[in-house]
């Protein structure tokens, strides 16, 4: 029995999981990250002893007094309003009227300082450019999105591994009508294991990116930025710290800790961002390309009826022959092509990742990547191997597949290669228009009427057997999907997540136990 199908409880959790990427890139999530970044900045600046200016009332021209303490009450106000809920986002005051994130940040700044945390008015966001919010938000969301994508990929790999091991000996025929590749027999498990190996490599690459994601630092106002009209009347971060450069460096480190990153890329952020975005875009493009390869193989198996996509009528059990067909590979193809288009745009360094869009470009990238993984997992959970159709198509194609090994064997025996090829071609032409079920026996019968083949009857028999030799495919399945195989090692960090998602399946598969009655 295949273990690819989900239990009802796992399906419920999976459906809830579908919205996770949407929630991550929602407006309430984005606004929450912005406010937390402001809070972390203020807490860190307070810890380091920042100096900020407070306007003196009724002075013309406006005069300012230096203040050295960010009051705890103001921090508490800001802390209480950090989490933005959906009903607040949809309220009239906070409705999104603009498509530019920079203007949206300014609107949120005034919303916080005028309504939610008025005591923060004089010290909120001091000494930093808007890049502090934009770039660190991008890194925080990227890290969380990679965590979601990696866990989704781990669940897909778990399904692929189980399906491959369950079908390690299930034979199938591979051929491409418009290709020079010879028709050959392998196993369904072998093909699915190769899908798993490619996707396992993708998981490893996404893990590498995740480990390298770090904060963008404080993105401070410098003397150069003060020439910008946006900052000409503001103090630089160094001035806020009264010329103490060590405090600027400590600020980056404190912010890194509060964001829970292992690394801070403040000193080389432009290069880091360019490299990371290029690598991430290339990986997502490759993910879409792998999905298209899977679609091509699924189309082949579906056209020959060897393996079909179905939908289980009972979510508590694997698909059966009676379940209806439900093709999702066309949807996977559309999702994969869309992902590849977005990935090409994302890795282009000339395209802004944070400006001028209602939605982050990165949000579209991860949503499409998650959709590809989700649809592919749904397909795997509904795959059904039709052994009768597979054996039938292998049987009727045996005469054409045995030619190459038979020619090689007889040539080694000293027979004339051209004569052998001519005899095989004549026998093939003889049975070409016969009913499929009669082709193989009549082809072999025709061969045995020739002296050459009759003399080497054992080689003829071994050629037929070699056509269905799939030992190599079984070895591939074991190496990739077996115990301590490639996929097992990839899944080690996600075992707890997989156990949670498959808890219902384990309960359903547990053997019944007989309870001893009381008193016996």
Q: What is the DSSP string of 207-255?
A: HHHHHH--B----B--TTGGGSTTTTTS--HHHHTTT-HHHHHHHHHHH
- Tell me the average pLDDT across 182-192: 89
Which 3 state secondary structure label does DSSP give 288? Answer: helix
DSSP string, 323-380: SPB---HHHHHHHHHHHHHHHHHHT-TTS-SSSS-SS-HHHHHHHHHHHHHHHHHHHH
- Tell me the average pLDDT across 311-323: 79
pLDDT, position 93: 61
pLDDT at 8 over 80: no
Dihedral angle of Cα 41, 45, 47, 49, to the nearest 10 degrees: -170
pLDDT at 42 over 60: yes
Report the DSSP beta bridge partners of residue 64.
55
pLDDT, position 255: 97
Report the DSSP beta bridge partners of residue 53.
66
Per-residue pLDDT of 265-284, as tens digits, reads 999 999 999 999 999 999 99
pLDDT, position 11: 44
Which 3 state secondary structure label does DSSP give 418? Answer: helix
Per-residue pLDDT of 468-489, as tens digits, reads 788 889 999 999 999 899 999 9
pLDDT, position 412: 87
Per-residue pLDDT of 369-394, as tens digits, reads 999 999 999 999 999 999 989 888 88
Q: How far apart are CA 176 and CA 184, in angstroms?
A: 10
What number of helices (H) and strands (E) belong to the chain? 23, 6
pLDDT at 189 over 70: yes
Residue 344: pLDDT band (50, 70, 90) is very high
Question: What is the chain's Cα-based Rg?
Answer: 32
CA distances, 148 to each of 8, 314, 376, 378, 445 (Å): 21, 28, 16, 17, 60
Report domain extents, the chain. 27-133+220-258, 391-467
pLDDT, position 453: 77
Name which CATH class applies to 27-133+220-258. Answer: mainly alpha
pLDDT, position 123: 92
Quick one: angle between helices 387-401 and 417-431, nearest 10?
140
Residue 291 phi, psi dihedral angles, 5° rounding: -60, -40
CA distances, 136 to each of 133, 142, 218, 436 (Å): 6, 10, 9, 65
Higher pLDDT, 441 or 227: 441
Report the DSSP beta bridge partners of residue 384.
308
pLDDT, position 277: 94
Dihedral angle of Cα 303, 391, 462, 478, to the nearest 10 degrees: 80
């Amino acid at each position: 029995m295949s273990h690819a199908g989900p239990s009802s409880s796992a399906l419920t959790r999976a459906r809830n999981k579908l919205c996770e990427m949407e929630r991550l890139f929602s407006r309430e999530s984005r606004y929450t990250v912005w406010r937390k970044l402001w809070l972390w900045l203020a807490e860190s600046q307070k810890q380091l002893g920042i100096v900020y200016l407070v306007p003196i009332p009724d002075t013309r021209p406006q005069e300012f007094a230096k203040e050295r303490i960010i009051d705890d009450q103001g921090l508490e106000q800001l802390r209480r309003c950090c989490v933005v809920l959906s009903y607040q986002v949809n309220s009239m005051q906070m409705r999104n009227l603009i498509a530019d994130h920079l203007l949206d940040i300014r609107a949120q700044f005034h919303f916080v300082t005028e309504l939610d945390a008025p005591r923060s008015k004089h010290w909120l966001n001091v000494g930093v450019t808007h890049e502090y919010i934009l770039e660190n938000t991008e890194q925080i969301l990227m890290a969380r999105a990679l965590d979601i994508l990696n866990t989704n990929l781990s669940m897909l790999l778990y399904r692929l591994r189980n399906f491959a091991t369950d079908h390690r000996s299930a034979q199938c025929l591979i051929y491409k009508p418009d290709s020079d590749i010879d028709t050959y027999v392998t196993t369904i498990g072998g093909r699915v294991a190769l899908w798993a190996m490619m996707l396992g490599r993708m998981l490893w690459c996404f893990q590498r990116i995740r480990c390298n994601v770090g904060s963008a630092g404080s993105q401070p106002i410098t003397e150069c930025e003060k020439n910008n009209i946006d900052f000409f009347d503001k103090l630089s971060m160094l001035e806020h710290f009264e010329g103490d450069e060590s405090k600027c460096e400590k600020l980056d480190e404190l912010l890194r800790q509060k964001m829970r990153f292992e690394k801070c890329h403040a000193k080389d952020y432009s290069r880091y961002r360019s490299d990371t975005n290029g690598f991430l875009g290339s990986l997502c493009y490759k993910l879409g390309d792998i999905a298209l390869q899977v679609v091509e193989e699924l189309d082949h198996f579906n056209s020959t009826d060897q393996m079909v996509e179905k939908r289980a009528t009972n979510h508590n059990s694997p698909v059966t022959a009676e379940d209806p067909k439900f093709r999702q590979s066309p949807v996977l193809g559309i999702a994969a092509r869309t992902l590849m288009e977005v990935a090409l745009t994302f890795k282009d360094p000339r395209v802004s990742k944070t400006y001028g869009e209602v939605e982050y470009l990165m949000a579209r990238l991860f949503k499409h990547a998650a959709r590809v993984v989700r649809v592919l997992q749904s397909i795997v959970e509904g795959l059904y191997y039709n052994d009768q159709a597979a054996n039938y198509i292998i049987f009727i194609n045996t005469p054409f597949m045995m030619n190459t090994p038979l020619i090689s064997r007889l040539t080694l025996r000293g027979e004339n290669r051209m004569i052998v090829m001519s005899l095989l071609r004549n026998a093939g032409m003889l049975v070409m228009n016969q009913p499929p079920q009669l082709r193989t026996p009549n082809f072999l019968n025709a061969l045995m009427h020739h002296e050459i083949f009759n003399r080497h009857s054992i080689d003829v028999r071994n050629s037929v057997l070699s056509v269905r030799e799939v030992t190599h495919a079984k070895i591939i399945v074991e190496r990739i999907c077996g115990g301590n195989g490639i996929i097992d090692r990839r899944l080690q960090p996600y075992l707890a997540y997989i156990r949670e998602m498959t808890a219902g399946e384990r309960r359903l598969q547990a053997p019944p136990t007989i309870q001893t009655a009381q008193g016996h």
